[in-house]
Amino acid sequence: MEYKGWDQVEVGAVVPSFADTSCDIVDLKQEDRNYAQTNSYTASVADWRVFKPVFSKDSCIDCQNCWVFCPDTAIVARDKNMLGIDYDHCKGCGICAEVCPTNPKSLIMFSENVDNDTVLSQWPEKKKKEK
Amino acid sequence: MSKIIKNLKQFSTSNDRFEGAHLLCPGCAHSIIVRELLNCTDDNLVIANATGCLEVCTAVYPHTSWDASWIHIGFENAATAASGAEAMYKTLKRKGRLKDPDKPVKFVAFGGDGATYDIGFQFLSGAVERGHDFTYICLDNEVYANTGGQRSSSTPRGSSTTTTPAGRVSYGNKKFKKDMVAIMAAHGAPYVAQVAPNKWKDMVKKYQKALATEGPVYINAMSACTTEWKFPSQDTIDVSDLGTDSLVFPLYEIENGHKLTITYRPRNIVPVRDYLGVQGRFKHLFKKENQHIIDEMQKAVDLKWELLQRREEAGI
Ligand SMILES: Cc1ncc(C[n+]2csc(CCOP(=O)(O)OP(=O)(O)O)c2C)c(N)n1
Ligand code: SF4
Ligand code: SF4
Ligand code: SF4
Ligand SMILES: [Mg+2]
């Protein structure tokens, strides 16, 4: 898609969020929406990350703490289940790992260049409570 | 049409209307506060946004992060734009010129503390006095963050900012934070409240009440800023917890200008110094010669809490 330069955009120009405005998007999941190219959903901030959260389903209790506190709408929750991380939109802030209440944590921050399967196979064990 | 939100699991079935790949800093609380507003209702929203981090970072050409009608307006007049849209809507409805007159529409304005406490203050005051049916939400990070951290009239005493730097001769900002919640309540607005993103349920409840209220509503949202408050990005919620649990940001609401209700009472009240200690902007206060500022802040917080409790007790 070709964009107008800053000096070609008219005053009061409108940037559409959706290519199709006939539907009520509040009833649609993100994957079912017809986004316009001008919606930031179509862009990625993956290259901002130095650390990334990795999600391990085993200990997750689907509490949705990570979903509600993620500032970048990058936790995918569907039907009350935590499905995983949307790595196109995650900036690696680390909030989700910080607020995850399980033991061991179900979200842990790792360097961006580690392999997810490797760290998942070495996931920490449940920690005993310190006396 | 109120959406029923019983618990977090159920809330998480909301279809997000605030999209990722905006350019706010990693860990910025602004987006947590905004996401929850957009997720707590299914109504159509018309949003006016004063300039500041939120506006600048969610509408970087050619992208928008808003799945709602949204306008970028001047620094000073988000309240004016929202009230203008609301007045137009009412007129069109009266004249029978709306396509879908039964679909509820809510009018919301967002502004930073610079836009709200300082530069848009008279515009906000005017819109509330005129009685427009809208909700104004101030993203209160206690500094002009987007332009590099200048002090505003919301900046607390003792905070180091680029215009009130702490150093050999100064402990930072010398002025006290303006009590915006009290000022807005004094306008007689039907609903005024303070919220914090770490208490999501309290926040959602107040948002829903705000949207259901007829007339002007003011909400002051504590917004922890990782860049200007100087804490690591993963700590946004922990810092906010210290803010509400030290009562530096007490959570309460005021109805019709007088009836005050405290909505969150921390089980363990933490000392103000614990809240200050995790933020770089207050680091210098822990030097021997500045400790009296911490004591002074603790006293001010205690006094305010006492005042809030007595007002609640009085029930008038
Ligand atoms: C009339 C006017 N003065 C100054 C500016 C420059 N300016 C843009 S954003 C900003 C700071 C906004 O601070 P605040 O309202 O607290 O929002 P924050 O960035 O902290 O979220 C300033 C000074 C402007 N855009 N318009
Ligand atoms: S690291 Fe931050 S941006 Fe990424 S999913 Fe977790 S909370 Fe969201
Ligand atoms: S916070 Fe942790 S336990 Fe809760 S849903 Fe997220 S990953 Fe699962
Ligand atoms: S400077 Fe502060 S308010 Fe602005 S985007 Fe960064 S964290 Fe958010
Ligand atoms: Mg600010």
The confidence score (pLDDT) of residue A127 equals: 86
Query: What pLDDT digit, counting tens, does each position of B19-65 carry?
Result: 999 999 999 999 999 999 999 999 999 999 999 999 999 999 899 99
Residues with CB under 6 A from ligand 1: B 51-54, 75-76, 112-115, 139, 141, 143-147, 152
Query: What pLDDT digit, counting tens, does each position of B73-109 carry?
Result: 999 999 999 999 999 999 999 999 999 999 899 999 9
The confidence score (pLDDT) of residue B72 equals: 93
The angle subtended at Cα B127 by Cα B121 and Cα B131, nearest 5°, is 140
Query: What pLDDT digit, counting tens, does each position of B151-198 carry?
Result: 999 999 999 999 999 999 999 999 999 999 999 999 999 999 999 999
Tell me how far apart the alpha carbons of residues B106 and B95 are, in angstroms, rounded to a whole number: 19
What pLDDT band is residue B316 in, cutting at 50, 70 and 90? confident
The confidence score (pLDDT) of residue B4 equals: 94
Tell me how far apart the alpha carbons of residues A46 and B184 are, in angstroms, rounded to a whole number: 41
The angle subtended at Cα B16 by Cα A103 and Cα A106, nearest 5°, is 10
Interface test mutation site (partner B, options A6, A7, A23, A26, max chain B beta carbons within 10 A): A26
Query: What pLDDT digit, counting tens, does each position of A9-21 carry?
Result: 888 888 999 998 7
What pLDDT band is residue B1 in, cutting at 50, 70 and 90? low
Where exactly are the structural domains of chain A? 1-43, 44-121
- Using the predicted structure, report yes or no on whether residue A131 has a pLDDT greater than 70: no
Q: Are B135 and B192 in contact (CB under 8 A)?
A: no
Domains and CATH numbers, chain B: 8-314 (3.40.50.970)
Could you tell me what percent of chain B has a pLDDT over 70? 100
- Look at A95-104, B98-107, B194-203 and tell me which has the smallest mean pLDDT: B98-107
Interface of B with A in 96-115 (CB under 8 A): none
- Using the predicted structure, report yes or no on whether residue B266 has a pLDDT greater than 80: yes
Q: Ligand 4, closest atom to CA B141?
A: 3
The confidence score (pLDDT) of residue A24 equals: 84
- Using the predicted structure, report yes or no on whether residue A22 has a pLDDT greater than 80: no
What pLDDT band is residue B202 in, cutting at 50, 70 and 90? very high
Query: What pLDDT digit, counting tens, does each position of B110-155 carry?
Result: 999 999 999 999 999 999 999 999 999 999 999 999 999 999 999 9
Q: Which of A26, A45, A1 shows the shortest CA–CA distance to B69?
A: A26
- Kindly state the average pLDDT of the residues B241-254: 98
Q: Which of A91, A99, A109, A116 to mutate to test the pocket of ligand 2 (most atoms within 8 A of CB)?
A: A91
- Kindly state the average pLDDT of the residues A106-130: 94
B165-169: long-range contacts (C-beta < 8 A, 24 or more apart)? B166/B284, B166/B290, B167/B284
Q: Any idea which architecture A44-121 has in CATH?
A: 2-Layer Sandwich (3.30)
What pLDDT band is residue B227 in, cutting at 50, 70 and 90? very high
Interface test mutation site (partner A, options B24, B64, B139, max chain A beta carbons within 10 A): B64
Contacts of B38 by beta carbon, 8 Å cutoff, 6+ apart = B16, B17, B18, B45, B67, B68
The confidence score (pLDDT) of residue A107 equals: 98
Closest-CA residue of chain A to B203: A68
ipTM over 0.85: yes
> B242-273 b/e with 16+ CB inside 10 Å = b?
bbbbbbbbbbbbbbeeeebeebbeeeeebebb
Query: What pLDDT digit, counting tens, does each position of A74-93 carry?
Result: 999 999 999 999 999 999 99
